Structure 1
Amino acid sequence: TYTDDLWWQFALHGDAPRFLRAMLAVAVLLAGVALWRWLGPAHSVADVAADPARVRAVLARTDRTDAMLALTGDKRFLIAEDGTGMLMYQVRGASWIVMGDPVGDPAAWGPLLWRIRDLADRAQGRLLLYQITAPVLDLAIGMGLQIVKYGEEAVIDLASFTLDTPRLRSIRKAERAAARHGLTFRIVPAAAVPVVIDELAAVSAEWMAAKGHAEKNFSLGRFDRTYIGHFDVALAMVGDRIVAFANLWLTANHDEASVDLMRHRDDAPNGTMDFLFVHILQWAQERGYASFTLGIAPLSGIEGGRLAPAWARAAALVFQHGERFYGFRGLRSYKEKFAPDWEPRYIAGPRGVALVQALRDLSLLVGRGSTERTAS
């Protein structure tokens, strides 16, 4: 018998039975392969360049404005064979990160998500679905992914929107005060944006310098002349001078309107951004858009009670005490001034440590981008 020695000691001695040495070799090999698969980067998978015309055809079917992130030039695409739907994603490290819900016909969503799940698995990667809505949850659960609440999105019902309500008193006052400083509102259609693009670039550069920010990627737009040129742009002006702007995200079916970049000069009058928001809301309302989204307040609406999961308690703690690093509560408070409805948004990803690794890759992707940019 071999009860007086540890099993691996037998494998290290020349007189140990051959099968024990073989067992050790196999165990080490398997452990090495498992560790490499766990920590290693995803193998590259050949991309088929997405036809911009096909991407735009799917965008024409969307009822969500965040689908316009397809035009940022930093994403890959999977497009349904019949052209009725697509999803956008990028690979960072070993993480395959899908941005938002799939776009287009909901009947195409399931096959697209299973297809990227298969691609990620073949590449020994991990899949993360970022900022998804409730309709995607069943699909994500069916794929075996862990669901984590990310935050809440502020949505305004434009059919009932009015400034003449006590809840919007502070916005009403700010807009009127800004107007007294001579602010005027103007919409520049996408076709005419090249005429003002140099001045927009100057406003953007001034705003970036004042904030000390770098441009973000993937989940946010960035000031890029080609990208901005895809959209109508709303202006706040004093005389003939642009003091603030926002590019507009608009769905073709008028289901939703929103803004992406909102930037202003250092000397813009107080209340300029409130002025711009109010006039954009009224402009969209007059043109029959059903809703307007103010975007997501990350980590908001997450209960961090004693019996909540550890991630929820951590998120609630950061939301309450992380103001100096991001301004989570301030962002929610600003959006709350417009009296929106709040709708949950989620992340779905692998379980355990792999989720932390995927979130790390997501942070790097948003902060630094991917190693490639695609044509838009």
Structure 2
Amino acid sequence: MLTLLVVTGLVSGSLWSQAAASRETAAFGYGLPAFEDGRWWGAVTGVFLAVSPWGYVPVLLGVVGLGVFAERRLGTARALVAVAACHVAGVAGSAGLLHVASGHGWVWADSLARLRDVGPSAGFVGAAAAATATLGPPWRGRLRVVLLGWAGLSVLYVGGLPDLEHLLAALTGLLLGPLLLGRRPRVTVRALSGREHRLLICAFLLVSALAAVLSSIAPVAGPLPELVPVAGAARLTAVHASHLVPGGALAHAVAFLVLARVVTWGRRSGWWLTVGALGLVSTVQVVAAAGLVSRDHACWPVLVDNAVLNLAGLAVVLSGRHAFGHVSPRRATALPESLRRSADEQERDRATSWLTTHGSAGRLSWMTTWRGNRWFFSERQEGYVAHRVGAGVALALGDPVSATGDRSALLLEFARRARRDGLVPCAFAASAETAAAARRIGWRSLEVAQEAVIDLGTLDFVGKRWQDVRTALNQAARRGITFRLVRLADEPEGVRAQVARISRGWLEDKRLPELGFTLGGVEEALDPRVRVGLAVDADGRVHGVTSWLPVLRPGDGAVVGWTLDVMRRGPAGFRAVMDFLIASACLAFRDEGCDTVSLSAAPLARVADQPRHGLESVLDRLGQGLEPYYGFRSLHAFKAKFQPRYEPLHLLYPDEAALPRIGLALVQAYLACSAWRLALELVHPPRPATDRSSGVHEPDLSRPHAVSLSG
């Protein structure tokens, strides 16, 4: 289509000549005059032209944007059918309406009935509307509101022939979309969430602001003002009473833009301001328009065009009072039940005691006891949700810790509390079971990592696939290095000092900031309930350190497994020290009767043969881009030598529109430095190391880029 448009423009000269474009429009265009002259084929020939040289710009952009969207959602064949059908409906439908409406004194209809048009824009608008049938809520409804709102406003306030064609094509596309997918078109009405109601009010205010500006610039455009011959000054008075003072239209637009921003905060004061502003504007418009109607009863369309629309908006605002219950951030920090309030040590002790008593199904659950978290304790059931607050997001860590196992109820209660505080709720690193529970309450899930899990009951280091691990164990034995599984807090000061030096050296060598949130350090390793693996030689020198978080069985809190957190190698440690430490820990935990060991997860790294779709493909490319900096995938490959099974970890969120904000919240949670420092550090990435002896891409664990979801 792009090629045909450009070639036709070049051949006809309309690509650079307005005269040529006008000539081609008159000869090959479509519209009511073309049908009356018997040139019905203009509906086909006019598709490949534009009304002016500048007209090619929006036409080509529309073909690319709307066409690509329709083709990707519907497929090539169905997209072509939608473009053709909607183009015919827009062209023939507008000609039919104008044939009926013209000749009765309606200036707008009479003027459009004499015009011809060219271009494929109506077909692509309709195809985009049809493609919305492939989307699920809430994006299906949002895109339809945007398309119909834009098309409807264009007809009301611009009123050109293309605008009428676009509106009819969009309506046709909405009916055609379900048919192309093999189902009947139907009108479904569902209850709006509080956020959706606020977005609807915000959209109305934005449209009203735009309408104020458009009507002041071109008050004679559109079908309703031209329905009756009203004097321009009187028509302007009825269009917007605020225009009676200089700059009234601009003040109206600015005020409504400010209100639109206030509405998104969801506070009760914003609702009262919006009600007051709309009530005042509607009252003034009704009085002004009623006075105009009293002098000329034929002016009722002006009243319909203005006051009734604002009254409808006022009704929407009044019906959405329930959506405005948010508390301001300053006030929320003083409320004991607010998610924004900083946590104290007493709440941390409460969460730790609850977890050790009742346990949890999540293998990352011990991270919920770390300092830096906040805790939401349920009022209706036993359990809590550990979270952090940033960028207007309540970011839950892992699975909700619940005694009943009903994670969806606890997650829903957490989400309600978050929305009441004006926060977007989400959960990061949640298990597949929690993701399924979230989908039952209407949330969405996105796989962000894969947890590597080793089943200790069947673990043995026999066979060729375990050759690297056996080599590491043998090298340690030859060097006189032994494995010790200890509580770091109980170790002598000299050992703790060595561990601290190894960690400091690792941090000083880093070109990028240390990550937090799901990544522990020496402070977390000093917890007496955390086990630490040490590789120590005959002289007492520590070559490497690992820390292990307890996995507690749901119901009684018994330790049934361990999760890898810290991984640090000393500057003089032999290369395979991490293989040695992990293998030795697995053997020790197996002998203690534990069921599993989790090697945690590498963010943005997944099993290679898994299919990628949509946002997962975007994250896959992001993982490739970050590999030179943090080595997520090399760490994932390193863990593969322990033959684990993989379990997905998910990001759970209620709405895709919140993903950019959630991304900022994750950055704030993980990075202790500013975004500017991170950007500067990314200029010179470190180079990942490769274990050439084994052929496995192995992270250099003395370097900063070897970072897992835990440690």
Matched, 1:247 2:547: yes
Report Cα offsets for 1:86-106 as digits up to 9, x if no partner. Answer: 210010020110000012424
TM-score by length of 1: 0.85
Equivalent of 1:276 in 577, 581, 593: 581
Equivalent of 1:294 in 596, 599, 616: 599
SS in structure 2 at match of 1:187: strand
- Native 8 Å contact 2:487 2:529 kept in 1: no
- Native 8 Å contact 1:85 1:108 kept in 2: no
Matched, 1:189 2:487: yes
C-alpha distance in 2 between matches for 1:105 and 1:94:
29
Which stretch shows the higher mean deviation, 290-299 or 5-14?
5-14
In the alignment, what sits opposite 1:337?
Answer: 641
* C-alpha deviation, 1:321, in angstroms: 5.4
Report Cα offsets for 1:47-106 as digits up to 9, x if no partner. Answer: 464534421222221243411112320000122458842210010020110000012424
- Structure with more of its chain in helix, by fraction: 2
- Native 8 Å contact 1:54 1:83 kept in 2: no
C-alpha distance in 1 between matches for 2:405 and 2:612:
37
The aligned amino acid for 2:364 is: D
Change (3 A) 1:4 1:218: closer
The aligned amino acid for 2:509 is: A
- Native 8 Å contact 2:525 2:531 kept in 1: no
C-alpha distance in 1 between matches for 2:651 and 2:673:
19
SS in structure 1 at match of 2:364: helix
Change (3 A) 1:67 1:277: same
Equivalent of 2:347 in 47, 51, 55: 51
* C-alpha deviation, 1:307, in angstroms: 8.3
Greater radius of gyration (CA): 2
Matched, 1:325 2:624: no
In the alignment, what sits opposite 1:348?
Answer: 652
Change (3 A) 1:88 1:305: closer
Matched, 1:86 2:307: no
In the alignment, what sits opposite 1:367?
Answer: 671
Change (3 A) 1:264 1:95: same
Q: Give me the identity figure in percent.
A: 23
* C-alpha deviation, 1:193, in angstroms: 3.8
* C-alpha deviation, 1:283, in angstroms: 0.6
Report Cα offsets for 1:227-278 as digits up to 9, x if no partner. Answer: 5454222111012122211222123423221221111211112211111111
TM-score by length of 2: 0.47
Alignment of 1:1-376 (within 5 A): 7-9=211-213, 16-17=237-238, 20-21=241-242, 24=252, 27-34=256-263, 43=329, 44-45=332-333, 46-47=335-336, 49=344, 50-60=346-356, 61-81=359-379, 84-107=382-405, 109-189=407-487, 192-193=490-491, 195=493, 196-224=495-523, 227-239=526-538, 240-252=540-552, 253-301=558-606, 308-309=613-614, 311-320=615-624, 322-368=626-672
C-alpha distance in 1 between matches for 2:157 and 2:390:
49
* C-alpha deviation, 1:208, in angstroms: 1.9
The aligned amino acid for 1:246 is: T
SS in structure 1 at match of 2:572: coil
- Native 8 Å contact 2:368 2:397 kept in 1: no
Change (3 A) 1:228 1:200: farther
C-alpha distance in 2 between matches for 1:165 and 1:176:
15
Change (3 A) 1:304 1:231: closer
> What 5-or-longer segments of structure 1 have no aligned partner?
371-376
SS in structure 1 at match of 2:628: coil
SS in structure 1 at match of 2:417: helix
SS in structure 1 at match of 2:458: coil
C-alpha distance in 1 between matches for 2:397 and 2:649:
12
Change (3 A) 1:307 1:111: closer
Report Cα offsets for 1:171-192 as digits up to 9, x if no partner. Answer: 1112212321221111223551
The answer to which structure, 1 or 2, has the higher relative contact order (CA under 8 A, 6+ apart) is: 1
SS in structure 2 at match of 1:64: coil
The aligned amino acid for 2:563 is: S
C-alpha distance in 2 between matches for 1:42 and 1:246:
43
- Native 8 Å contact 1:299 1:315 kept in 2: yes
Change (3 A) 1:264 1:304: closer
Change (3 A) 1:226 1:289: closer
Which stretch shows the higher mean deviation, 296-305 or 259-268?
296-305
C-alpha distance in 2 between matches for 1:127 and 1:11:
42
Report Cα offsets for 1:307-340 as digits up to 9, x if no partner. Answer: 821x122222334454313323212210110000
Change (3 A) 1:244 1:149: same
- Give me the CA root mean square deviation: 3.5
C-alpha distance in 1 between matches for 2:353 and 2:380:
11
C-alpha distance in 1 between matches for 2:633 and 2:525:
33
SS in structure 2 at match of 1:234: strand
C-alpha distance in 2 between matches for 1:299 and 1:99:
17
- Native 8 Å contact 2:383 2:401 kept in 1: yes
C-alpha distance in 2 between matches for 1:306 and 1:69:
30
In the alignment, what sits opposite 1:374?
Answer: none
C-alpha distance in 2 between matches for 1:226 and 1:267:
22
SS in structure 2 at match of 1:356: helix
Which stretch shows the higher mean deviation, 243-252 or 284-293?
243-252
The aligned amino acid for 1:299 is: L
The aligned amino acid for 2:408 is: G
> What 5-or-longer segments of structure 2 have no aligned partner?
1-106, 109-155, 159-209, 218-232, 243-247, 267-326, 338-343, 553-557, 675-711
In the alignment, what sits opposite 2:53?
Answer: none
The aligned amino acid for 2:664 is: R
Change (3 A) 1:338 1:124: same
* C-alpha deviation, 1:136, in angstroms: 0.9
Change (3 A) 1:369 1:113: farther
* C-alpha deviation, 1:366, in angstroms: 0.8
